[in-house]
């Protein structure tokens, strides 16, 4: 059955919410079959799929194409598409771009900070997931945020403002676990943590990180559930060797 926003909201305090990023159809299909609640077409694709140094070069068109692929693979999960950097500089741009992502297959969109934009989108019937803490589209240093009282209070206020603006759920990224707990307790809507500790209402990871597929850098908060980079390297080496040594194709791979 298709996961709805009311289902996600009702899970707070009752059942943890599982969320992963995906960028292609097959991965989304397997996640869906595993029972994932939410799939995010994250602008993390800039680094883990498109080979950029950060998320800033990702375009709305990039997210649209990959959202279509994910939507064709996943029938049940709630599908959330990131509005990428510079795509929600004004209310009107945000609404136009969000509509394009929804036409591509997203159920709703995610933005970083910006409660005023979130409010405008929600008033225009576009559901919004918020994102605070480490917000890769604007932070210059990727260190844990909110360790000091002042920055912690700013993050709490931003999360509350996003809730007030109508966001149905808030991602907390890269903050101390006690701050994750405080925000989760302070909000009526669910929080989904990435590097924000166990007290959040749900957890999200970048799929390439949890599959061990992105080996440029692994943050402390990532748990690797597979080591696909190693498997791929071995498979490619074995294939090259087989071709060179004329061990592939065998007769069973040939048409007669």
Binding mask 165-184 for ligand KIV (x = CB under 6 A): ------x-x-----------
Residue of 12, 57, 59 lying closest to 37 (CA atoms): 12
- The nearest distance, CB 227 to ligand KIV, in angstroms, is 20
**Contact set for ligand KIV, span 128-167 (CB under 6 A):** 131
Is 250 tagged catalytic?
Answer: no
What distance in Å separates the CA atoms of residue 166 and residue 169, rounded to the nearest whole number?
9
Asked if residue 44 binds ligand KIV (CB under 6 A), the reply is: yes
From 173, 230, 245, 250, the catalytic residue: 173
- Segment contacting ligand KIV (CB under 6 A): 37-45, 99-107, 115-123, 182-190? 37-45
Asked if residue 106 binds ligand KIV (CB under 6 A), the reply is: no
Q: Cis peptide leading into 237, omega within 30 of 0? A: no
What distance in Å separates the CA atoms of residue 117 and residue 90, rounded to the nearest whole number?
7
Per CB under 6 A, the list member of 42, 166, 174, 212 interacting with ligand KIV is: 42
Nearest position to ligand KIV, beta carbon? 42
Binding mask 181-220 for ligand KIV (x = CB under 6 A): -------------x---------x-x--------------
Asked if residue 111 binds ligand KIV (CB under 6 A), the reply is: no
Per CB under 6 A, the list member of 37, 43, 161, 209 interacting with ligand KIV is: 43
Q: Which residues are catalytic?
A: 173
Binding site for ligand KIV (CB under 6 A): 21, 40, 42-44, 82, 131, 171, 173, 194, 204, 206
């Amino acid at each position: 059955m298709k996961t709805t926003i009311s289902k996600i909201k009702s899970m707070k305090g009752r059942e943890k919410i599982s969320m992963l990023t995906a960028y292609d159809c097959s991965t989304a299909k397997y996640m869906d079959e595993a029972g994932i609640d939410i799939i995010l077409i994250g602008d993390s694709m800039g680094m883990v799929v498109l080979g950029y140094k950060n998320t800033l070069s990702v375009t709305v068109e990039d997210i649209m194409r990959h959202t279509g692929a994910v939507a064709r693979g996943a029938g049940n999960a709630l599908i959330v598409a990131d509005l990428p950097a510079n795509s929600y500089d004004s209310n009107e741009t945000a609404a136009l771009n969000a509509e394009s992502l929804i036409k591509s297959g997203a159920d709703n969109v995610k933005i970083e900070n910006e409660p005023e934009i979130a409010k405008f989108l929600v008033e225009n019937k576009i559901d919004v997931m918020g994102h605070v803490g480490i917000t890769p589209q604007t932070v210059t240093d990727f260190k844990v945020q909110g360790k000091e009282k002042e920055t912690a209070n700013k993050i709490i206020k931003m999360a509350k403002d996003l809730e007030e603006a109508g966001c149905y759920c808030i991602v907390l990224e890269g903050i101390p676990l006690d701050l994750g707990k405080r925000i989760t307790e302070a909000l009526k809507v669910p929080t989904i943590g990435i590097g924000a500790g166990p007290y959040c209402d749900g957890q999200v990871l970048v799929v390439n990180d949890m599959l061990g597929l992105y080996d440029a850098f692994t943050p402390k908060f990532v748990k690797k559930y597979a080591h696909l980079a190693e498997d791929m390297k071995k498979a490619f080496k074995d294939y090259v060797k087989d071709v060179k040594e004329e061990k592939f194709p065998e007769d069973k791979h040939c048409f007669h």
